[in-house]
Amino acid sequence: MECGCSDGVCARCHGGKKLVLGVLVLLWVWKWSMLDWRWVVGGLLVLMGVLKMVMPMCGHCGDKKKK
């Protein structure tokens, strides 16, 4: 049984979606100069997207590859 962490989406596509969504959130809050929760959410989405694209396997199913 395969790991269903991404709900049927490949890990790189899942990371790309998070990356694009994070960039869009950061562009949306760019007009406000003060730091608030939207900057944090956008930054975390970008970070999670980059990490998902670099390391596509999650922690609990990374070593369980079936061939």
Contacts of 8 (CB under 8 A, 6+ apart): none
Please report, for the chain, the start and end positions of each structural domain, with discontinuous segments joined by +.
11-54
Q: Which two tokens stand for residue 63?
A: 């070593």
**Residue 31's pLDDT is what?**
76
d(CA 43, CA 19): 9
Tell me: the pLDDT tens digits for 16-66?
Answer: 888 999 999 888 888 776 778 888 899 999 999 998 888 866 555 555 444
